[in-house]
Structure 1
């Protein structure tokens, strides 16, 4: 299915051009505690001023929905044109998230504990997993199928796969699809309790890696069957059924997801120009992914992790990283530059060598197909193959 337009906001910037420029330049943002959360855990927060939720939709007013609205406003004209062309009944909506507006719920409970009353501005719809979809349905007047996908770190990658199915099944002519996740203490403290967070930075595939750094953001796409320059060409999924949080160590299920995406797109591994690795910088995930990618692509295919630049955006990661792939394939990148893999350069001798991109490396002649990996808790693996149609 074709990707007509996209909007994105993350720690790198608040629009397509700024995000791409910062990513290609190897901009390394220093993670810092999100002051509004009263947490001392470093994270990649969005620093841009966010749009306000309209007063008639005040019950959905939360940071998560404000980031979605920031991404939506970048493509609102395209969405309006699609609704006019197909009708609101033929427009679908699929959003991936894992935190929704939990931060607003945390604040409300704190106020309740101190005063005995919930704050007047709080509404449970701010933190419901389905709240973002309800908000966008009411904001845009969408009447087609609309639902939330929540599979932790692969949520919005699964949302893109689900949107493609809606169109293929003839249930929709167009789908607004993507994801959003905002920082909250519940997630930060939970990942810290798992021993999965770094106290310094995100250093994927290094022998010195010591955990990930969380981030936040949103990305939205307009997907239709009408031809466009870029398309979701292949989707591959698999399930480890191995452990609630640890991946299958041999990488076999991650490899199966990538193989399925290649088969779905009718492409060989050697035709992929760039792989956006899941690359969380956690010990087990990087070890597993290096095995899976090394077996399929060796050390020739250019690859890297965007998480040192954006943070691990959890339920929004799949959509944000798919959007990053679209940006390097787009006309905004006429020189076909590749983004550098940000790390300390000290490879782990226990892992296969991969084709990690240095700051100086570019691909001036050909950049047609990108693979984006999202590997989640419970072994829910998704690989998306995006390319020129």
Structure 2
């Protein structure tokens, strides 16, 4: 009927205009990609998440299990959503980040954390886009960046931003593995983009690059063996068998991302706030080991590193020191034996056990205050030194 056809035409024109407006706003605010998908586009993702949780691959990240149902479908998070808009911002480095792994006296901080917290940057820009879009469309919107229970990578794949590679991260033909993601949920009906297909083929470079064999199979990751999880999410002592494999990675790990051949098409980040700070590119372990809490907070002000706290961070640096073989670090590592944090003291013992001879370690133990923490005592015992409880 003519009236029905005209109404459909008007709805189609509105969808196209609103989608074009939204994508233009996204580009204006510095987003490199902006694509649209349906809220029901990822029906198989919940089952994959359940398998991941059932295997215990999430480690101590209990919040993943607690929010599993809410992650299963965007409509569970917001029942009125009609379109899901996925945004991506390139944070590609200007050189291969694995170069620092050869510098044992330096600490390797993941590329994404070498400047301001991307959550703050992207969420701020998303809110600007959302405000202008809501005013133009007269529709409700919600924005999410990583911390909300949104399955961003599967949605990004369905929106056509890229595909989830064998390392489980998003890969783009234009930007490689270096993309930050954010999402906008809206009640508006928008023009949909086509999903991206998997272009990994027979390549398994990312799997081969993992120092700790954290991939039990392609497209599956065991976070309990992942250096990013161990150095960021894991709060206690790190498994002794994994410590030597961590090398000098003190916050996160870029190995699987950096190994992706699609990175040859990636551009370096255009957003200045995402470019690495010079003082965080190749920080010296000696200086980082000397950080007290105020010093840590000052150095990492505005950085995502700040959220793990000084004690967990220094734990990571001590593991790097123990792996360095650098005898000049012995004095500053010794200073951490008397630290107020048990996890720091424990890793200081381990690091010293790797840097000094057993006889020297026994002499150091004799000069220490009596130890009461079980984890620290265990490290002394594993190092071959008997310590009595006070």
TM-score (norm 2): 0.28
Q: Which has the higher helix share?
A: 2
- Bigger strand share: 1
RCO greater where, 1 or 2, for CA within 8 Å and sep 6 or more? 1
Larger radius of gyration: 2
